[in-house]
Amino acid sequence: MNDFINEHYTEISETSQKNKITPVFGKNPIHNVGYEYTNLDLKSMSSDQIMEFGKNIIRDNVILLRNQDLDNPDDIYRVATSIGRVMPAKQFYNVETHPGLGRVTNERNSDGKKIGIFADKELDWHSNGNNRETGKECCVILYCVKPGLNSITSFADTRRAYQELPGDIKEIVDDIDCIFQFKNNTFYNLDENDQELEFFDNRHLYPEGLVKPLVYTHPYSSEKGLYFTFHSITKMWRRNGKPLDENWLRSYLMNHVFQEKYIYHHSDWRNGDIIFMDQFHSIHKRNEVQGDRFLWRITIDYRKSIRKSI
């Protein structure tokens, strides 16, 4: 990864140093899955400084910052657009004035309808866009306005899990294609009349599901990692035609990927927490919501920080 950055971004780094825009920060590992960055105040940083900070997301996979002051949609939107291009969306949970900025909350409007996505029920392991064509949605940003009660979000590092597979298993998974398809009552349980189900249920777009590799090569860093969002995988096979025991492989990967050494549990959400997570090489889950909870959620690519188009 360092060679990749040095090869493509030396010119940008030199310019940054001349202009003294590179932000200074400390970083502490969070259970080998990512890093908590210290000494950074995103609101006071320039857009160029935020862009420089954004280069670290691919390398570190999951980044946590505390004590940020980004409750105002303008502030969180500026952070996102400084790093990359926001994925626009017009759904019930989006803020009309900030295309692509979404609400994650169990709050309802005066008619009792949801105003946010992932409202209150438990979410099992997933990442963004599992059941859609793989595009440029490389990073999800979560910023906490109201933490709720006893809220735990867990993150798994599927890049490291891939890297530490035995050689014979790695040879197999490198040769696997899968069908990915959303099914209700897998990673998320929704009533048939739920607003969110309409958003997730994309059978009209992909009636047969989508074929994607089990081992995904990151479009920016070229590093490999497992794309093991198992709830979405309905079928696996080997490209070379050799037989595959799907149940055995699924069981093996479940036991391997979800070892605690690959997982970080963020169990003390506070107002001002912001988490950046790569969507190709990490997955996450959350327990059932209690109390008042409100997060800003925004999905971006990395093109401003990385300056490389996929």
User: What is the pLDDT at residue 290?
Assistant: 94
User: What is the pLDDT at residue 139?
Assistant: 93
Predicted structure pTM score:
0.89
Burial degree of 21 (CB within 10 A; 0-12, 13-18, 19+): middle
Which letter does DSSP use for residue 23 in this model? Answer: P
- Report the 10 Å Cβ neighbour count for 257: 21
**Would you say residue 160 has pLDDT above 90?**
yes
User: What is the pLDDT at residue 194?
Assistant: 82
What is the residue-averaged pLDDT of the chain?
88
User: What is the pLDDT at residue 309?
Assistant: 35
Please tell me which residue, 14 or 173, carries the higher pLDDT value: 173
Side-chain half-sphere exposure of 111, counting CA atoms within 13 A: 3
CATH architecture entry for 2-306: 4-Layer Sandwich (3.60)
User: What is the pLDDT at residue 8?
Assistant: 37
Range of weakest confidence among 43-52, 54-63, 180-189, 208-217: 180-189
User: What is the pLDDT at residue 252?
Assistant: 98
Give residue-wise pLDDT tens across range 214-261: 999 988 888 999 999 999 999 999 999 999 999 999 999 999 999 999
Give residue-wise pLDDT tens across range 88-112: 878 889 999 999 999 999 999 999 9
Give all strands of the β-sheet with 26-30 in edge-to-edge order. Answer: 26-30, 34-38, 62-65, 274-278, 139-149, 290-300, 101-105
Q: Show me where the domains of the chain are located.
A: 2-306
Strands (E), the chain: 26-30, 34-38, 62-65, 101-105, 123-126, 139-149, 153-157, 176-180, 210-213, 215-217, 224-226, 233-238, 263-266, 274-278, 282-286, 290-300
Provide mean pLDDT across the span 73-85: 95
Q: Which residues make beta-bridge pairs with 226? A: 215
Sign of the alpha-carbon dihedral angle for 229, 234, 238, 244? positive
**Would you say residue 13 has pLDDT above 80?**
no
Query: CA dist 227 to 16, 142, 218, Å?
Result: 34, 21, 10
Range of weakest confidence among 59-68, 121-130, 274-283: 121-130
Provide mean pLDDT across the span 149-159: 97
| 150 in Cβ contact with 269 (< 8 Å) | no
